[in-house]
C-alpha cells in the first residue's frame, strides 16, 4: 500500500481539471498540449455535457493520457470512468459518496475525495478514498462558492490523513511557491492551463515551478 501511495502521489504532481467551458474538441486539443508540457493527471469534469459526450471524450482522453504516462480521472460519473477505462473517479461533497463508489469500483480503482476540514478528510480516508483534493487554496473565479482556507488551512487538513493529496483552488504560476510545506503531493488547477494562450508552455512552466517549490 505504501508503494501504491508513493506512485499515486507522483501521479498527482500536476493534476489538470478540464471540461467546463470548453467543447469536447477544445478539451482534447488543449489537454493533448498540456500533456506534452508535463501534466501528470487529468480529470474530466463536466456537468452540462450529455452522458454520451462525456463518455466519448473520456475514451479519447484515456488514450492521450496513457500515451504520456498520465492518469485519467472523471469527476462524479463513476459509470463513465469505469466504462471508458479511466484510472479513477473524483468525488466532491455533492457527488456520489466515496463509500458507495468504492463498493462498485473495487479496490484497485483510484477514488479521490474532497475535504476542506480535518474531519471531512479523515472521513474520506475512512470510507476508502485514495487521495484528497483540499482547498480552496486561494480565491478563484472558477468555483465562486468555494471557501478559501489558504496554504495554512490545507496543511492543517492534510495533517489529519496519510493518503496523498492535491491542493486546489485559484492556483496559478505566481502562487505555487506559497504551497511549499503544506504537505500536498501536488497541485490541481484548470484555468491556469486551459485558459492559457499556450497550454503546453503553461504546463511546462508550472512543472518547473513545482520542482523548484516542492523538490524533485
Q: Which residues sit in the known binding site?
A: 43-47, 75-76, 95, 114, 140-143, 170
Contact pick of 1, 69, 103, 145 for its own copies (by CB under 8 A): 103
Residues 6+ apart with CB under 8 A from 214: 13, 179, 180, 186
What is the closest distance, in whole angstroms, from the C-beta atom of residue 13 to its own copies in the complex? 27
Q: Does 146 help bind its own copies (rule: CB under 8 A)? A: no
Q: Does 127 help bind its own copies (rule: CB under 8 A)? A: no
- CA–CA separation, 66 and 167 (whole Å): 23
> Which is nearer to its own copies, 9 or 92 (by Cβ)?
92
Site for its own copies in 59-78 (CB under 8 A): 76-78
Contact pick of 16, 34, 70, 101 for its own copies (by CB under 8 A): 101
What is the closest distance, in whole angstroms, from the C-beta atom of residue 158 to its own copies in the complex? 24
In 66-177, the DSSP E strands lie at: 71-75, 88-90, 110-115, 131-135, 165-168
Please compute, for residue 178, the number of CA atoms within 13 A of its CA located in the half-sphere on the CB side.
16
Q: Does 144 help bind its own copies (rule: CB under 8 A)? A: no
Q: What's the alpha-carbon Rg for the chain, to the nearest Å?
A: 16
Is the distance from CB of 133 to CB of 168 less than 8 angstroms? yes
User: What does the binding site for its own copies look like in residue numbers (CB under 8 A)?
Assistant: 50-53, 55, 76-80, 82-84, 91, 93-97, 100-101, 103-104
Amino acid at each position: 500500500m505504501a508503494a501504491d501511495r508513493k506512485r499515486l502521489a507522483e501521479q498527482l504532481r500536476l493534476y489538470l481539471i478540464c471540461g467546463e467551458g470548453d467543447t469536447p474538441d477544445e478539451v482534447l486539443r488543449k489537454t493533448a498540449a498540456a500533456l506534452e508540457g508535463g501534466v501528470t493527471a487529468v480529470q474530466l469534469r463536466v456537468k452540462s455535457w450529455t452522458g454520451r459526450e462525456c463518455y466519448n471524450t473520456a475514451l479519447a482522453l484515456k488514450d492521450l493520457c496513457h500515451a504520456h504516462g498520465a492518469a485519467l480521472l472523471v469527476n462524479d460519473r463513476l459509470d463513465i470512468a469505469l466504462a471508458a477505462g479511466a484510472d479513477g473517479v473524483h468525488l466532491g461533497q455533492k457527488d456520489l459518496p466515496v463509500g458507495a463508489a468504492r463498493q462498485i469500483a473495487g479496490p484497485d480503482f483510484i477514488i479521490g475525495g474532497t475535504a476542506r476540514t480535518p474531519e471531512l478528510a479523515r472521513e474520506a480516508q475512512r470510507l476508502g478514498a485514495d487521495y484528497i483534493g483540499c482547498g480552496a487554496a486561494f480565491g478563484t473565479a472558477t468555483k465562486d462558492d468555494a471557501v478559501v482556507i489558504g496554504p495554512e488551512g490545507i496543511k492543517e487538513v492534510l495533517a489529519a490523513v496519510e493518503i496523498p493529496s492535491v491542493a486546489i483552488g485559484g492556483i496559478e504560476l505566481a502562487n505555487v511557491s506559497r504551497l511549499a510545506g503544506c504537505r500536498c503531493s501536488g497541485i490541481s488547477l484548470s484555468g491556469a492551463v486551459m485558459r492559457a494562450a499556450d497550454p503546453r508552455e503553461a504546463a511546462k512552466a508550472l512543472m518547473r515551478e513545482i520542482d523548484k517549490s516542492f523538490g524533485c
